[in-house]
C-alpha cells in the first residue's frame, strides 16, 4: 500500500502490506520460498481465498485482521509447531490491550488454534511449513514456518460449525491497533520460547484455556470421543480422560457440549 502510514512492528520484523491478496499465508509461502527473511509479516486488508485449518474457507472482507508471519527458527518441525500456542497467547493479550479502557472481554484459548470471546470463536491460527531431511538425517530440518492469524474485528461468518463472533468496533479495537499489539506480544512470546522452551508457553496457555475439567467432544478423522478436558501435555497434545483412561490427542476438532 503506497503513501499509507503502516502499523508499527518491533524492530526485528518487517511489515509488507497489501490491499488484497488471495491469502496472506499463500503470499507468505511464496515469499518464504523466494528467501524472505525471518520476521517478515504479510498483511492484507482483504483476502479472496482465505482459508483455515483443514482447508476450510475463511471469510475475508475488509475490517478484520489477516496476517501471516514468516519465521525461520532453528528447531524441528514438531517443536516449531508449539508456536501456535505463542500466537494464541499473543491474540489474547492483544485483544485485552486494544479494547477501550473499562471494557472487559471474556477471552479464552481453545485447543488447538482458536481464540474465543464470550465462548465464540473470534480468531484462528494456521501453521504451514517447509522442511528438508538431508541425506543421513532422520529428523527433518525446518526451512521456514508460516504462521497465519485471522481476527474477527468488524464482522464474522454465520452458521459455522463452531459459533463465531466479532469483537465489534464499539470496543475501540482497530485492525491497525490489533496488528501492532499482536506483533509486540508475539515478539515477547517468541523470545520466551527461544530462551526458556515450551513450558512457560504451556503454563500461560493453560491459564487462559477454556474448559479445563469440563466435558468436551473431540472429533478425530474417523472417531468421535467424549471425555473430560484434563489439560495439555509437554508436547502440546490435548489430554482427554475417557472411560477411565487418558488419551493424548494431537489433532482434532474440539467442541463443548453446549456448542456441538
pLDDT in tens, 137-196: 666 779 999 999 999 999 998 878 889 999 988 899 999 999 999 999 999 999 999 999
> Which value, in Å, is the radius of gyration of the alpha carbons in the chain?
18
Rounded to two decimals, the pTM is 0.92
Q: Which position has the higher pLDDT, 168 or 128?
A: 128
Q: Is the pLDDT assigned to residue 33 strictly greater than 90?
A: yes
Q: How many helices (H) and strands (E) would you count in the chain?
A: 5, 12
Q: List the grid coordinates of 68.
A: 501471516
Residues in the chain: 260
Ramachandran class of 238: left when φ > 0, alpha when ψ lies in -120 to 50, beta otherwise: beta
Q: Which percentage of the chain shows pLDDT scores above 90?
A: 79
Query: What is the per-residue pLDDT for 52?
Result: 53
Q: Is the pLDDT assigned to residue 93 strictly greater than 60?
A: yes
Average pLDDT over every residue of 192-211: 97
pLDDT in tens, 220-236: 988 999 999 999 999 99
Q: CB within 8 A of 8, min separation 6: which ones?
A: 180
Mean pLDDT, the chain, integer: 91
Distance CA 92, CA 105 (A): 10
Distance CA 165, CA 240 (A): 27
The CATH number that domain 215-259 falls under is 2.30.30.100
User: Can you identify the CATH homologous superfamily of domain 14-207?
Assistant: Bira Bifunctional Protein; Domain 2 (3.30.930.10)
Average pLDDT over every residue of 191-204: 98
Average pLDDT over every residue of 47-58: 63
> Domain locations in the chain?
14-207, 215-259
Query: What is the per-residue pLDDT for 49?
Result: 80
DSSP 210-233: S-TTSEEEEE-SS-EEEEEEEEE-
Question: Among the residues of the chain, which ranges form H helices?
Answer: 24-33, 77-80, 83-98, 175-196, 199-207
Average pLDDT over every residue of 207-221: 94
Query: What is the per-residue pLDDT for 158?
Result: 84
Amino acid at each position: 500500500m503506497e503513501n499509507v502510514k503502516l502499523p508499527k512492528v518491533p524492530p526485528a520484523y518487517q511489515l509488507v502490506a497489501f490491499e488484497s491478496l488471495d491469502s496472506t499465508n499463500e503470499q507468505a509461502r511464496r515469499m518464504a520460498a523466494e528467501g524472505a527473511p525471518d520476521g517478515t509479516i504479510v498483511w492484507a486488508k482483504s483476502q479472496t481465498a482465505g482459508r483455515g485449518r483443514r482447508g476450510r474457507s475463511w471469510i475475508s472482507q475488509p475490517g478484520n485482521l489477516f496476517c501471516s508471519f514468516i519465521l525461520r527458527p532453528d528447531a524441528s518441525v514438531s517443536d516449531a509447531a508449539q508456536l501456535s500456542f505463542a500466537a494464541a497467547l499473543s491474540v489474547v493479550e492483544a485483544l485485552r490491550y486494544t479494547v477501550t479502557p473499562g471494557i472487559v472481554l471474556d477471552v479464552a484459548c481453545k485447543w488447538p488454534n482458536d481464540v474465543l470471546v464470550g465462548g465464540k470463536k473470534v480468531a484462528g491460527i494456521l501453521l504451514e511449513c517447509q522442511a528438508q531431511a538431508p541425506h543421513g538425517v532422520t529428523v527433518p530440518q525446518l526451512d521456514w514456518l508460516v504462521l497465519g492469524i485471522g481476527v474477527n474485528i468488524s464482522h464474522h461468518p454465520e452458521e459455522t460449525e463452531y459459533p463465531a463472533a466479532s469483537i465489534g468496533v464499539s470496543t475501540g479495537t482497530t485492525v491497525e491497533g490489533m496488528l501492532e499489539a499482536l506483533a509486540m506480544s508475539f515478539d515477547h512470546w517468541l523470545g520466551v520460547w527461544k530462551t526458556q522452551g515450551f513450558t512457560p508457553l504451556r503454563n500461560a496457555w493453560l491459564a487462559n484455556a477454556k474448559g479445563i475439567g469440563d466435558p468436551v467432544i473431540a472429533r478425530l478423522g474417523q472417531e468421535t470421543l467424549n471425555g473430560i478436558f484434563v489439560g495439555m501435555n509437554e508436547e502440546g497434545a490435548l489430554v482427554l480422560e475417557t472411560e477411565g483412561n487418558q488419551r493424548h490427542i494431537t489433532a482434532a476438532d474440539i467442541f463443548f457440549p453446549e456448542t456441538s
